Structure 1
């Protein structure tokens, strides 16, 4: 997976992503699931290999008129099913495809973890920025309260005007606890996401210092096919198709070969010496005659699962294109919003500057206004 998050240029963010990929519990579960399917592939492969075993037996028998006989045997056996119709081969193909699908699912979880860490970190920086603005607003309100207190003491303004300014100060102060709570909750959520206990999160800088990664123009649509969710759906389709072939093979007979060789003796010392060897070899042919529709039903189930996998694959591709288009549209609209808000901030800064200039030159009263307040220059009194 490309380390795209490094494009933000924040070392703390890089460290958090690395920690999340190493300790996230959902990713641990997905990795263990991959190990499980790898073991299933090994088990499926074993079906196409000869099965070799051994056995040993010892016994004593007494027969009339009081004779006692000892019997010892040691045998080595082997069995092998001939895969003439491809059933085992198709089952192996399905198992391998399921393993690849599970690996893609793990990559999808990893990508989700990375995206969640980056989003949570950016949200945390945004909350920090909002808190800084709230604190700066509170300091401005405090300055207004101090000025109006002096003017109230001098008899220039009324107590009603003083209460208006005080209310503006308390309104600004009330926003700070909510932001501090949101920051603490965001830190706790990000800590759990990366496998830590809830606690504070270190920042590498401010929201304004993050570098927005550039999106190259003219990216080919084939890149959509590299998405883990699409690759997972593709391998699930391969698995479902292979199981259709395995189900069709049930109509044909299965052929098995078995063999055994070893030694039999009435004396333990002579078990592996002397002319006591035995062997056997047999072939077995088993085929269905009447199964009450069970084989037909198995084929219908396999074909239905293949149709489901095909529809899921098509849906995954369409969802991938939709996600890309949604993201590009969001980036474009966000860029316009940022430009508009930047112009608004510049206009408000200039308005504050002009209001202070009017106050300093005696053309208006002290600028107590805010963008959301009714007291707006030059109407402040």
Structure 2
């Protein structure tokens, strides 16, 4: 019998060795090939993700707004409270390794036929201790630690999104204000065109149709200016809400102050994407599921508990003694589940399924992250190429406007050619500003796609 018990105990210990194994990323999780070959760039392993947000967003006014947003945003403060909750849970899981103590004094009065009462008392201190033979407490602690890391990743996600949102609002306002400046300059020139055309009509070199068309062109730029001012006001109101402030005007610099980061690379996928908060969250969620599965496996094995008490009492079971005596007891119990109505096996199957779900979610998160990085890199490349073309186009159109105006003064061309050249120039100037914003936005998107923006 003794040999049978020893054999069963040895077998149980050997089969439970895996319950103490720490989480490791599954070997079949794919991290290679997440970037397109034409988007692969040389650089360090982290690329743009290694930059602190202050190194990316160097505009002093923007840095001040980001700092205000980080200090005042309610979602970020809520994420910090979630971290504190996870830290408390982890601390409780660590304390589970040591014995629990309780102080429970008791006293009683008893008598017969209203005679003299007998007084008894017991003043004990009791202790109980769960021995973690099969890793139940170990996996509970590891799961709590993974949940803490998940909460920290969530805060990183909130902070990264907040910084990107503030930067996007800032440069959206910068784009609108740059477009407003161009429109206001164009409005002055087109107003002069109206006066020039009217003077030509009075001199017999033009007609009322040309004056009316030139005036209509002028009024169109005036309405565009009004629209831009309204858009700026609406966007400032939304920006104020994001920063947790009352609606107000903001000092916004020009987009020309934007400086492209020195190393605009995406880094190595496995290293760079691991810095993304959603990737961290997905992997820590997989780790949580892994330890939960180990906990459900540990429930099949015996539980060993030690308990005892020591105290002072005058109640020894017969008559009270005076003075009291010291008493103590100690007990060990071993509980082996035999039949639990299938609950343990069902919980284990549920845990395994949830672990597989977490694994699939982690793989998909990596694929989605790679897609976002590729899109941002492609956008950066395309907007960079277009910027040079817009510069050449605007230079040509400025020459065309000057030439058609000079020809019109000599009556060798009509007003329609002048108006067409002016409108085309304005469209090109507006498009170049929009493209500049898209270029900045792509850099922000790449930085966020690589998990940047978390800088304590």
Query: Which range moved further: 246-255 or 193-202?
Result: 193-202
In structure 2, the CA distance between the partners of 1:228 and 1:218, relative to structure 1 (3 Å rule), is closer
Partner of residue 86, structure 1: 135
Alignment of 1:174-213 (within 5 A): 174-203=223-252, 205-213=253-261
Structure-2 separation of matches of 1:259 and 1:32: 38
- The alpha-carbon deviation at position 36 of structure 1 amounts to 1.2
- The alpha-carbon deviation at position 322 of structure 1 amounts to 1.6
Give the one of 127, 132, 145 matched to 2:181. Answer: 132
- The alpha-carbon deviation at position 285 of structure 1 amounts to 2.2
Structure-2 separation of matches of 1:226 and 1:65: 78
- SS of residue in 2 equivalent to 1:112: helix
Structure-1 separation of matches of 2:310 and 2:135: 29
- SS of residue in 2 equivalent to 1:67: coil
Partner of residue 120, structure 1: 169
Alignment of 1:34-113 (within 5 A): 34-64=83-113, 66-113=115-162
Alignment of 1:216-365 (within 5 A): 216=264, 219-221=267-269, 222-265=271-314, 274-359=323-408, 363-364=412-413
Give the one of 419, 442, 455 matched to 1:369. Answer: 419
**8 Å Cα contact 2:56/2:261 also seen in 1:** yes
Partner of residue 379, structure 1: none
Structure-2 separation of matches of 1:175 and 1:124: 16
Q: CA RMSD in A?
A: 2.4
Unaligned runs of 5+ in 2: 1-49, 425-456
Query: Which range moved further: 179-188 or 210-219?
Result: 210-219
Structure-2 separation of matches of 1:358 and 1:159: 19
- The alpha-carbon deviation at position 320 of structure 1 amounts to 2.0
- The alpha-carbon deviation at position 300 of structure 1 amounts to 0.5
Could you report, residue by residue, the CA deviation over 1:272-295 in whole angstroms, capped at 9, with x for unpaired residues?
A: x94522212122222222111111
- The alpha-carbon deviation at position 44 of structure 1 amounts to 2.0
Structure-2 separation of matches of 1:332 and 1:285: 67
- SS of residue in 1 equivalent to 2:368: helix
- The alpha-carbon deviation at position 88 of structure 1 amounts to 1.1
**8 Å Cα contact 1:6/1:14 also seen in 2:** no
- The alpha-carbon deviation at position 127 of structure 1 amounts to 0.6
- The alpha-carbon deviation at position 152 of structure 1 amounts to 4.1
Structure-2 separation of matches of 1:18 and 1:138: 37
- The alpha-carbon deviation at position 363 of structure 1 amounts to 4.3
Structure-2 separation of matches of 1:349 and 1:296: 78
Structure-2 separation of matches of 1:76 and 1:8: 61
Structure-2 separation of matches of 1:87 and 1:373: 74
Matched, 1:6 2:55: yes
Count of aligned pairs: 368
Matched, 1:30 2:71: no
**8 Å Cα contact 1:144/1:368 also seen in 2:** no
- The alpha-carbon deviation at position 250 of structure 1 amounts to 0.9
Structure-2 separation of matches of 1:329 and 1:158: 51
- SS of residue in 2 equivalent to 1:255: strand
Partner of residue 454, structure 2: none
Could you report, residue by residue, the CA deviation over 1:27-68 in whole angstroms, capped at 9, with x for unpaired residues?
A: 112111111111111222232221101012233222236121
Structure-1 separation of matches of 2:376 and 2:80: 29
Could you report, residue by residue, the CA deviation over 1:219-254 in whole angstroms, capped at 9, with x for unpaired residues?
A: 333222222222222221111111111100111121
- The alpha-carbon deviation at position 23 of structure 1 amounts to 1.6
**8 Å Cα contact 1:191/1:201 also seen in 2:** no
Partner of residue 377, structure 1: none
**8 Å Cα contact 1:244/1:303 also seen in 2:** yes
- SS of residue in 2 equivalent to 1:369: helix
TM-score (norm 2): 0.75
- SS of residue in 1 equivalent to 2:173: helix
